[in-house]
Structure 1
């Protein structure tokens, strides 16, 4: 069975997940560099649960976090996509754009390229009027991607899934208002 490509950019394919993605996804989620701004590394079981939740969100909503591969090399490098925000805040309910890529490909503009394509998809295919992005306050790399894709910093909040004293509790919030399709 052929994998469905949802979005193609000049260098990337944003596609459906495959069982073969689980092993590199597990390694990525166990890498302290990748998970630096998350509360903990993910075990193989936790990664499998995340994989299942991602696939379920696609089935339920028609969107989610795409598996990303480099078009020329064909290798899985992480995920980028859209996700229903799963907690209560003054900006929810809403949809976020997010990414998690392997450190081997950091600094090449892949997150920016894929996330920008997802914003176009959010507007043109899904008809969304706005999309959010957020990260722990010290995560300046992700904030740089947010700015590069035209998002505006609109505030800060304490992530409700973390205790207030946790060093990653304070998050920055970005927003992108999407113009209507013409």
Structure 2
């Protein structure tokens, strides 16, 4: 009998509606996943008409794993709005259940026979696999106490249009995994997910929001704030917000909040580093301040990873005066240098394929030190790429530099690698200048482009 006709996968005039059930199966600290078309996915499938999500998952697992399963509590309900394969809107509702399999499945002989279709992956294995929502990998570290409702909007078409509009206003900051852009009123439902979460706002100055309408008003009140950005994944999912705003004595105050579903993935650190880079280049900021409640260990880790140094203990009070927190206060001094690049070289930096810039070690370069920032400007387009210097490799000449450094990191690749020669630098710096000043390979990591 063809049961696909009963599946809750409906083609509507506006697009597609799918209702699915998925299994989160943990074994010896790892997650059971299914191999499909070269990628890994959770065991999952469509719910059928007049069938509960739990019953659907038991049926799906009997078919996919040929094993009996005990479907436990629902950990997540994921409302996903995205583009379907036909580029029409797709509305997908997925129930994620904590699930246990019978001992028979884990019998070594039986499980080994399933290796072509299934495998166990650790948290590290899942770290950069985009097929898994971040809240799934979170389960390997900590299970949510109650059912979490997660909403993501990943309409690539509308999000790309939004990025283009933000770029035209010089309000788009890009990193390896994130896009920081101003928030809009329609973001309110996603913002409400974390601003209504008592765990997220636990150490913040404001209390949690009770209504989406109040979040809409807050976003509208911040429209003119050029220092506040929404933190988006590259697929358009809004995961948090961050700001670096002018404070007392010329300092810039760094603040942030993140949807709990997306904690422990490094997004906050990545966004804060990008915002520091942007604020230093655009506003000339040299001094940043950050504070957090002493109990907030997660914020302490963000501060330390961003390079902040502890200054003193302090305290702060919530806006309504109901709570006072003992705090730790941090400072960060930023030194920013500016250099121009030809378009071809800039694109390599922006794409992450170049991480060493070759220069004459003149007076300007001798002022650059590890830990400093450099803002590279594309001579053709005016775009910026801000990097953090990790090392200064100094040589007497480019002959010695080319013989010592990995040229792939200097921007050479493919056929150009075979023809790479220190003579390539003669069009910029003569032998005499090299002899007088020496040369340097400035090694760096990319923080942001805008």
Relative to its length, the structure with more strand (as a share) is 2
Deviation at 1:104, TM superposition (A): 1.1
Gaps of 5+ in 1: 59-63, 86-90
Deviation at 1:77, TM superposition (A): 0.7
Q: Corresponding residue for 1:113?
A: 270
Give the distance between the partners of 2:321 and 2:183, measured in 1 at CA.
Answer: 35
Runs of 4+ in structure 1 off by over 2 angstroms are: 42-50, 91-94, 160-166
Q: 1:80 to 1:145 in 2, by over 3 A?
A: same
Deviation at 1:43, TM superposition (A): 3.0
Q: 1:49 to 1:173 in 2, by over 3 A?
A: farther
Gaps of 5+ in 2: 1-157, 339-450
CA contact (8 A) 1:67 1:78 kept: yes
Q: Corresponding residue for 2:337?
A: 181
SS at match of 1:159: strand
Give the distance between the partners of 2:195 and 2:259, measured in 1 at CA.
Answer: 9
Deviation at 1:68, TM superposition (A): 1.2
Residue 133 in 1 paired to residue 295 in 2?
A: no
Q: Corresponding residue for 2:186?
A: 20
Q: Corresponding residue for 2:7?
A: none
Residue 171 in 1 paired to residue 334 in 2?
A: no
Q: 1:79 to 1:162 in 2, by over 3 A?
A: closer
Task: Report the TM-score when normalising by structure 2.
Answer: 0.35
Deviations 1:125-162 (A, max 9, x none): 21101111111221110111000000111112222556
SS at match of 1:13: strand
Residue 145 in 1 paired to residue 311 in 2?
A: no
Deviation at 1:19, TM superposition (A): 2.1
Q: Corresponding residue for 2:223?
A: 55
C-alpha root-mean-square deviation of aligned residues, in Å?
A: 2.3
Q: Corresponding residue for 1:88?
A: none
Deviations 1:2-45 (A, max 9, x none): 32152100000001212221111122100112112125212335
Deviation at 1:103, TM superposition (A): 1.0
Q: Corresponding residue for 2:209?
A: 42
Matches within 5 A, 1:64-143: 64-71=227-234, 73-85=235-247, 92=249, 94-143=251-300
Q: 1:135 to 1:48 in 2, by over 3 A?
A: farther
Q: Corresponding residue for 1:31?
A: 197
Figure out how many residues of one structure are paired with residues of the other and give that number: 170
